[in-house]
Amino acid sequence: MAGRRTSTLDALVVCPPGLEGMVVDELAALGVSRTRTEKGGVTCRLTTRQLYAANLFLRCATRVLVRVAGFTVRSFADLERRIGEVEWRDWLGVGVNPRFRVTTRGSKLWHDGAIEERFVSGLPAGRPGGADQLVVVRAGRDRFTVSVDSSGAALHQRGWRQATAKAPLRESVAAGLLIGSGWDPTTPLVDPMCGSGTIVIEAALLATGRSPGGDRPFAFQNWPVFEPGTWASVTAESDRRSGAGPPAPPIAAADRDAGAVGSARSNAERAGVADLIEWRRAPIADLSPPEGAQTDGHLITNPPWGGRLSEGDDLRNLYATLGRVGRERLPGWGLGLLVADRDLARQVRPGLAEALHLELGGRRAWLLTGRLT
């Protein structure tokens, strides 16, 4: 498939397992109506403009792959021939360094390294200092799918995170928590265990209409088929969206660890939203609504899971304190908890609903939602 000769592109939008439905909704907002979900991704057809917009606007995605070839082969000779038939000149500019990610399952050609060697030898060599281009090769039952990555760095890497606290949350997952919790971006929000500040920063970006990818480059900008005029139109739309809505609501971030609060604030400064967030060094027992909150809002947080953080801590007591203080100080507020142990979450409030079932870093996790009553 050559990019110059097709009006739409076959694409796979990769995302954390459990966020596929949110990616479908985000794609629909870009005018993409026909989609199919699979674990950890959504397949669709995109115009060039939609491809660029997906990279810039999608909050819950990891990367966008464009399929450039699909074929069935059972010998290395046939694989080498097929590699030579791909229109690489559309996707690999002069001096670009292709990198490969190969996975096979149930195929005669099962050796990932040997398959990669054929691609390396069949493609033009890059040069030191040249841009990288990820090529993803997936083989299942002898059927090969070859895709180029349009994103570059993973889309959750917004460009603002440098300082991290313990067990940082991916930005795409934080966006999923906000959306999955049912938070209205015009209403108050508090995260009493903010860590690196990912949830509150994503909330401020969402509330102000700022594009999650507005401060970073993308791999498609290095493609020979890149359309600068189309990209300029997409970025102009991003500029129109930013700040076009109502002012950001009161948002508060707290943590008992002064270092975490400092890291979170530094990240928010790089994201350009530090002044939209109230920063507190405070334990759960000092939980209170953000300053200026006139309506009920949401408490959304990623409390410690155990194992990775302070196994000696009494997590059961921590969760129970969160529930007790939340009911006292924020009665009627919405609640969103990302947890790996649903029994622990019952200490906050029994009967919370499972809004999302996620797989994060090889661990199962749930977004549980409800009301502080």
Dist. CA 18–CA 22, nearest whole Å:
9
Question: In three state form, how does the secondary structure of 40-53 look?
Answer: CEEEEEECHHHHHH
Query: What three-state secondary structure class fits 92?
Result: coil
Nearest alpha-carbon partner for 68 in 218, 230, 224 = 224
- pLDDT for the residue 164: 65
Q: Identify the H or E element spanning 64.
A: strand 63-72
Predicted confidence band at 60 (pLDDT cuts at 50, 70, 90)?
very high
Q: Output phi, psi for 50, to 5 deg.
A: -65, -35
Predicted confidence band at 6 (pLDDT cuts at 50, 70, 90)?
low
CATH level 2 (architecture), domain 171-210+244-371: 3-Layer(aba) Sandwich (3.40)
Evaluate whether 107 touches 141 at the Cβ level (below 8 Å). Answer: yes
Dist. CA 71–CA 107, nearest whole Å:
13
Dist. CA 290–CA 271, nearest whole Å:
20
Nearest alpha-carbon partner for 325 in 207, 162, 135, 192 = 192
What is the DSSP-derived secondary structure letter of residue 201?
H
Tokens 């102000």 sit on residue = 208
Q: Which amino acid is at 3?
A: G
Dist. CA 124–CA 127, nearest whole Å:
10
Q: pLDDT tens-digit profile of 80-116? A: 999 999 999 999 998 999 999 999 999 999 899 999 9
Percent of the chain with pLDDT over 90: 86
| 159 token code pair | 């460009």
- pLDDT, mean over the chain: 93
Dist. CA 241–CA 270, nearest whole Å:
20
Q: pLDDT tens-digit profile of 290-325? A: 999 999 999 999 999 876 444 535 899 999 999 999
Q: Output phi, psi for 320, to 5 deg.
A: -65, -40
Query: Is the pLDDT at 225 greater than 70, yes or no?
Result: yes
Greatest CA separation found in the chain? 70
- pLDDT for the residue 313: 55
The CATH class of 3-149 is alpha beta
Burial (0-12, 13-18, 19+ Cβ within 10 Å), 38: exposed
Dist. CA 222–CA 57, nearest whole Å:
19
pTM score = 0.93
Domain regions of the chain by residue span: 3-149, 171-210+244-371
User: Averaged over 223-233, what is the pLDDT?
Assistant: 97
- pLDDT for the residue 1: 38
- pLDDT for the residue 9: 97
